[in-house]
Amino acid sequence: MRVELNALFRLYPLTGTGQHLEHLVAALRAGYPDIEIVERVPGRRLRGRAGKVWWEQAAWPMVARRSGDVLHAPHLAPPMAVPRTIVTAHDAIPFVLPAYGASRARRLYNLLTRAGLRRSRRVIAVSHWTRRELTTVLGVPADRIDVIHNGIAASLTPTRDDRDAAIRERFGLPARFALYLGALDARKNLGVLLRAWPDIWSATGAALVVAGRAPRPSSPVYVDWFRRHEDAPWLHVIGEVPEADKAALYRAAAVFVFPSRYEGFGLDPVEAMACGVPVVASDATSIPEVVGDAAVLVAPDDLQGWQRSVADVLSDPNRVASLRDAGIARARKFTWERAAESTAAVYAKAAG
């Protein structure tokens, strides 16, 4: 079987979609040599939304439809002109969160996506939550959707290595801290942590380290989270972190905090679990499905709940040990080998 893959996100390897593409392709090639994976990548970085649409709707389908038994768009960009495409939906954010779909260009792009979904042969959703969004919001028939959870990179383990000794100095980390790592856009809800942290700092002495990439200030989903807290002794903002440093950064943290309002999957808390870090996360959207009973769950806007839950974990070694063991066990359920096995089955179903 020959699978033509829209590998656009090879140009954006630090994004969640880029990481998904990298790990899934590696697992498919390692486990299924009878499936020929042909990655199609634009010859140059595309300019804006128009360039992206040109690649997804014209350039890639024109080449792929000539030679592929199966076509796979591993992000939510199904081409309208090719009815046998498989498409992966990582979330339905632009369709359900108004700020993320507000621009005229985004609304037009959403129309293309809806039209392409109607013609797609199979749709892969990364969680049951996302599957439900696809059926209720976008009208995709449930019998055309396969749920395949993401995997965890093999480098994310609780076992310390040479990077751990240097990670504190490299990022100027405090002696004891809670970590947030992820994007910094509006849905991530960092405001509740910033409001909660003076009391947490007073009770536990633990600082808050925030890592991740912010959207452009001109973006409708940009929030200047830190303007009012620039001189706070408990806040350390370290920016984007290379993939190679993530495991050591997770392991250096006393607890991982994740107050997001909306996730299609929510990879960051599971990555922290895989590294042996206790997790306090919001109880919104797909997050309870993914973390199960291995994390402390708090309503996104429950300020006192965040203060109490984080302080309780930071103050109770027995709770830390219990969450650590449960988190490591939970994270082992999410492997790229398992994702590749399920994806190969979808390919066979679509080809048939």
- Residue-range domain boundaries for the chain: 2-151+335-351, 162-331
- On the question of a common fold for 2-151+335-351 and 162-331, the answer reads yes
| pLDDT the model gives residue 161 | 87
Cβ-based neighbours of 99, under 8 Å, separated by 6 or more: 186, 220, 221
Residue 81's pLDDT band (cuts 50, 70, 90): confident
Residue where the block lists tokens 């849905």: 187
One-letter amino acid at 160 equals R
pLDDT, mean over the chain: 94
Q: What predicted TM-score, i.e. pTM, was given to this entire model?
A: 0.94
**257 closest CA partner among 204, 218, 219:** 204
Residue 47 has pLDDT above 80, yes or no: no
- Largest distance between two CA atoms of the chain: 64
One-letter amino acid at 298 equals V
Residue 69 has pLDDT above 90, yes or no: no
Residue 240 has pLDDT above 80, yes or no: yes
| pLDDT the model gives residue 48 | 77
CA pair distance 243, 249, nearest whole angstrom: 10
Mean pLDDT of 148-154: 96
Three-state SS letters, 206-264: CEEEEECCCCCCCCCCCCCCCHHHCCCCCEEEEECCCHHHHHHHHHHCCEEEECCCCCC
CA pair distance 256, 277, nearest whole angstrom: 6
Q: Which CATH number fits domain 162-331: 3.30.420.40, 3.40.50.2000, 3.20.20.70, 3.10.20.30?
A: 3.40.50.2000
Q: Which CATH class is domain 2-151+335-351?
A: alpha beta
Mean pLDDT of 278-304: 98
**The two structure tokens encoding residue 298:** 């708090």
Residue 268's pLDDT band (cuts 50, 70, 90): very high
Mean pLDDT of 35-45: 89
**284 closest CA partner among 305, 307, 266:** 266
Mind listing the pLDDT tens digit for each residue in 92-148? 999 999 999 888 888 989 999 999 999 999 999 999 999 999 999 999 999 999 999
